[in-house]
Chain A
Amino acid sequence: MTMKPTTRGFLFLAFVLAVLPLALPNGYYYDLAIRMAINASIAVGLNLLIGYTGQISLGHAGFFGIGAYASAILTSRYGLPSGLALIIGAVATAVLAFAVARPILKLKGHYLAMATLGLGIILSMVIINETELTGGPDGMPVDAFSLFGMQIVGEQAWYVVVALILLLVTRAALNLIDAPAGRALQAIHGAEIAARVAGVDTTSFKVRVFVLSAVVASVMGSITAHYVGFLTPGVAGFFHSIELVTMVVLGGMASVFGSILGAVVLTLLPQLLSAFEGWETVVFGLILMLTMIFLPRGILPTLRLKFAGRAA
């Protein structure tokens, strides 16, 4: 029985996540793995938007921020249970994303980018200025995540949680792409007008994907808040949004596993670059440029083409 390549990839991912702990010697490496998994989940969600529907979002960190601060404020200031706070954050994000999706998605190209950028910055500014609620620029602490009386504390417990979430998100994304909805998505990216002519309700799809990717970001924001235990407004900022987009583009747009790879690379890079005292920014910029020049489709798709070419 031959497996579909995506199923093979999914099983490979599950295998890697399962055996990775054997190679992690201490809490620091677990921490890295957890951050990679969190970023990967967000990247997969964002990729559905950027890679498959061709819509760009320069304000996704804003949604991350909503989830993060909702969890932080509702649990630490109002004593709500963590699970409930997370859900409230996700619902709030969904509502906001739905409300702005239709007007924003009518825009094209750079105007769309501008609108998402604006949204992200407005969210970021609200978080910075509402000091009473959010602790302002110096941030606020977040209680640990508790579920049914048990607290999730420590790197190993969190690793299991985020690894499971990543598998869930990846499975959902792969299913979406293979299903008729997914083909509709790809049609939209390819030639939207043709898709509309063929009867695909492009706007409805775009809205749904926008909301979905926003909710994923929000949930991961909540998770990050509880895991790190401390939040600052930077998590909703412009730079974080750019980082997320870079993960998707670097790893390979329209490639679920590419996004995961992009997240891994971009999370790892600052750690490796710390050896380049003072030159981190320059080296990072050069790596970005060189990668996009020589691997314009992103790392995974370009490599896939190369190997496919050889096999053929």
Chain B
Amino acid sequence: MLSELLQFLFSGLTVGAMYALAAVGFSLIYSASGVINFAQGEFIMLGGMSAALLVQAGVPLPMAIALAVLVAAAAGLIVEKLAIEPAGNSEVVTLVIITIGASLTLRGLAEVFLGKGNHALPAFSGEDPLVIFGATLMPQSLWVMGVTIVVVLALALFFGRTALGKAVLATSCNKLAAQLVGINTRFILLLAFGLSAALGAVGGILVAPMTYTSYDVGIMMGLKGFVAATLGGLGSGVGAIVGGLLLGIVEAMTAGYISSAYKDAMPFVLILLILFFLPQGLFGKKTTDRV
């Protein structure tokens, strides 16, 4: 009994950590610009796919990972420069459609140039599972969770201690005020996209050994990341992590104890209930609108 529960928990945490990394990317861009970036899933895909193909071409794993992150970050910068910036101050819905267009373009290009097959990355520390109280955990899962923790700490340091990080927060609070105090908001937005893309890519690379990667993994990962980010409260880094882990655990528990058929629907039922009682999500700030 205990080992079963533990196994479901491990499964939930592993998947949840993936969702958490995806969610952090969403929250970051939302923080800096108020845009929901539907192309976030594609950044995750680019990371995993690039790394897998580089390794297949003979590049050593650490180098492949570094290059893959750079590729995704570059894609993020390009999307911001060519698609978001020209749109200026358009309505949010318009920007959402633009990011959807960007996601389709990236996915389509991957389909044409990188093919439709599935690819695997070699596991970082081998394939032998660790046994803990009767439940098993893959070493790769520890990598995913460990890196997620490091990312969270690094982001906390970045936003709390560095001038650049504080500039991002300032921009998200009030763009005009930030500009007035001399912050280059254009650069901040560019940075946000590049950083989110890099984070997404790291997530995609970390999970590729377990879940494989293909040109269309972005769709599901992006959607789940969005759900996790909203669950935790858009714009909150901690919220994104908690949201992601919660989402993963709910899915695993539903599959284990209720019905594997409805495991994808249960998180949404949960979200609807949470949003009905907490309209800002779990950790979102209560917003006040100026009239």
Q: Does A6 contact B (CB under 8 A)?
A: no
B residues 225-270 in Cβ contact with A at 8 Å: 226-227, 230, 234, 261-262, 264-265, 268-269
Residues of A within 8 A of B265 (CB): 121-122, 125-126
A residues 103-124 in Cβ contact with B at 8 Å: 103-104, 106-111, 113-115, 117-119, 121-122
Q: Does A84 contact B (CB under 8 A)?
A: no
Most chain B Cβ neighbours within 10 Å, of A109, A121, A250: A121
Is B100 a contact of A246 with CB atoms below 8 Å? yes
Distance between A39 CB and nearest chain B CB, rounded to angstroms: 16
Q: Does A154 contact B (CB under 8 A)?
A: no
B residues 72-114 in Cβ contact with A at 8 Å: 83, 86-88, 90-95, 97-98, 100-109, 111-112
| A284–B87 alpha-carbon span in the complex (Å) | 18
Query: Assuming the A-B contacts A111-B279, A111-B280, are A292 and B94 also in contact, with contact meaning beta carbons closer than 8 angstroms in the complex?
Result: yes
Distance between B270 CB and nearest chain A CB, rounded to angstroms: 9
Query: Assuming the A-B contacts A118-B268, A125-B262, A126-B265, are A56 and B279 also in contact, with contact meaning beta carbons closer than 8 angstroms in the complex?
Result: no
Which bracket fits the contact residues of A? 35 or more
Query: Assuming the A-B contacts A109-B92, A122-B269, A193-B289, are A282 and B98 also in contact, with contact meaning beta carbons closer than 8 angstroms in the complex?
Result: no
Partner of B112, one of A122, A129, A278: A278
Is A242 a contact of B100 with CB atoms below 8 Å? yes
Query: Assuming the A-B contacts A121-B268, A249-B93, are A114 and B101 also in contact, with contact meaning beta carbons closer than 8 angstroms in the complex?
Result: no
Is A106 a contact of B104 with CB atoms below 8 Å? no
Distance between B27 CB and nearest chain A CB, rounded to angstroms: 11
Partner of B272, one of A115, A238, A284: A115
| A280–B223 alpha-carbon span in the complex (Å) | 22
| A292–B35 alpha-carbon span in the complex (Å) | 14
**CB-nearest residue of chain B to A248:** B93
Partner of A285, one of B95, B102, B280: B102
| A100–B94 alpha-carbon span in the complex (Å) | 26
Distance between A279 CB and nearest chain B CB, rounded to angstroms: 6
Q: Does A33 contact B (CB under 8 A)?
A: no
Partner of A288, one of B30, B98, B226, B262: B98
| A261–B261 alpha-carbon span in the complex (Å) | 39
Residues of A within 8 A of B15 (CB): none
Is B227 a contact of A114 with CB atoms below 8 Å? yes
Is B268 a contact of A282 with CB atoms below 8 Å? no
Residues of B within 8 A of A286 (CB): 101, 105
Chain B proximity mask over A32-69: 1 for CB below 8 Å, otherwise 0? 00000000000000000010000010000000000000
Chain B proximity mask over A267-297: 1 for CB below 8 Å, otherwise 0? 0000000000011111111111100110011
Is A107 a contact of B108 with CB atoms below 8 Å? no
| A297–B87 alpha-carbon span in the complex (Å) | 11
A residues 138-187 in Cβ contact with B at 8 Å: none
Residues of A within 8 A of B107 (CB): 281, 285
A residues 229-280 in Cβ contact with B at 8 Å: 238, 242, 245-246, 249-250, 253, 278-280
Is B264 a contact of A125 with CB atoms below 8 Å? yes
* 17 extra interface residue pairs, beta carbon distance < 8 Å, beyond A115-B275, A246-B97, A282-B105: A106-B279, A110-B230, A115-B272, A118-B227, A121-B264, A122-B268, A193-B291, A238-B223, A246-B100, A249-B94, A278-B112, A280-B108, A281-B107, A281-B111, A286-B105, A292-B95, A297-B94
A-B contact pairs, 10 of them (CB 8 A): A50-B93, A110-B36, A111-B275, A111-B279, A114-B226, A115-B272, A118-B271, A249-B93, A249-B94, A288-B100
Q: Which residues of A contact B (CB under 8 A)?
A: 50, 56, 100, 103-104, 106-111, 113-115, 117-119, 121-122, 125-126, 129, 191, 193-194, 238, 242, 245-246, 249-250, 253, 278-289, 292-293, 296-297
Q: Which residues of B contact A (CB under 8 A)?
A: 30, 36, 83, 86-88, 90-95, 97-98, 100-109, 111-112, 223, 226-227, 230, 234, 261-262, 264-265, 268-269, 271-272, 275-276, 279-281, 287, 289, 291
